Amino acid sequence: MSATTFEGTILRGREFEPVEGRVVVEGGEITAVEEASTHSDDIVLPAFVNAHTHIGDSIAKEAGGGLSLEELVAPPDGLKHRLLRAASQEEKVEAMRRSLQFMVDSGTAACIEFREGGVEGVEAFERAAHGLPIDPMVMGRETVEAMEAADGFGASGANDADFSRERNATARAGKPFGIHAGEVDASDINPALDLDPDFLVHMVHAEELHLDRVADSEIPVAVCPRSNLVTDVGFPPIAELLERTTVALGTDNVFLNSPSMFREMEFAAKLADVSARDVLRMATVNGAEIADRNCGLVEPGRDARLLVLDGDSDNLAGAQDLVRAVVRRAGVADVSDVYLTGD
């Protein structure tokens, strides 16, 4: 089998050290990262992992302006749920597929999808993703049967229902259990932690007690800062969370925000007191670890899921700090190639 190579400045390893050279790919795996002189302006980095998505509401982008979080997304009669019930299955599948295609084109290798609609919703998502090179971890919702049809269970929040039965069934099945917590206020964080989840989502209102519990339990957290701004619930304590656990970035509901990891990184980097490298890890390897995917870094032995940016684009030319430029400045227009295993 012949090797595929990518040349330019490589953001190598967990520290994203910029090195000039080439990435060698064989059989869908990175087999070498070689330092060498090249004539390429490309920037080679790991493709993104979007750690929290709700793709189903792609049918209603920018609906519900001015509504509260509860009015927008609370089950069973929040705007999102009413719109989903009103749409045909074909409409939902097509809308999801277009969002997933955008994610692929903008450099997303994998996502963690909280999938509404029970078993039917899981099957609709699978139809939408069929044939696309994105690698989703689908978290069924609402029923144990949805979990059994999916990769795990994604709970809405401990104040919405008692999820003990679903948690126990998920544990017996050996699948991951994720749950929203601390999005509107702190009241559901301890009950969520009591369920011993595999990961939490949001944690906007985490207090010191909760942060200590997260650290003691080593529970990772997916944060969605743009969504939290749109729904006016606050801003997650990203720096404090990073001191205690693995933190990954997600884009949340498509009807509220585009599933662009470039936009999510820029927003997080400019509002949180964390480094550009921290944010890039949140957008790549940290999400990969939550999703149990062997991607998120450019190093030998990792799956070859790579994003290549044009370092000589009008937007990126002249960048003095490439990691900072990728995180705070780069966008979809700078993408020159997306290579996902199997391409």
CA separation for the pair 288, 49 (Å, rounded): 6
Confirm or reject CATH 2.30.40.10 for domain 3-46+295-339, answering yes or no.
yes
Per domain, the residue ranges of the chain are: 3-46+295-339, 48-291
Query: Residue 113 corresponds to which amino acid?
Result: E
Q: How confident is the model at residue 342 (pLDDT cuts 50, 70, 90)?
A: low
* Rg, Å, the chain Cα set: 19
Written as one string, the DSSP assignment of 186-251 is STTHHHHHHT--SEEEE-TT--HHHHHHHHHHT--EEE-HHHHHHTTS----HHHHHTTS-EEE--
Q: What is the mean pLDDT of the chain?
A: 94
Q: Return d(Cα 111, Cα 100) in angstroms, integer.
A: 10
- HEC secondary structure over 54-106: ECHHHHHCCCCCCCCHHHHHCCCCCHHHHHHHHCCHHHHHHHHHHHHHHHHHC
Question: Is the per-residue pLDDT at 31 higher than 90?
Answer: yes
Strand order of the β-sheet with 221-223 is 247-249, 221-223, 199-202, 177-181, 152-155, 135-140, 108-115, 48-54, 252-253
Query: What confidence tier does 282 reach under pLDDT thresholds 50, 70, 90?
Result: very high
How many of the other CB atoms lie within 10 Å of CB of 172? 9
pTM of the predicted model as reported, rounded to 2 decimal places: 0.95
What is the tens place of the pLDDT at every residue in 178-202? 999 999 999 999 999 999 999 999 9
- pLDDT for 144-189, tens place per residue? 999 999 999 999 999 999 999 999 999 999 999 999 999 999 999 9
Write out the CATH class of domain 48-291: alpha beta
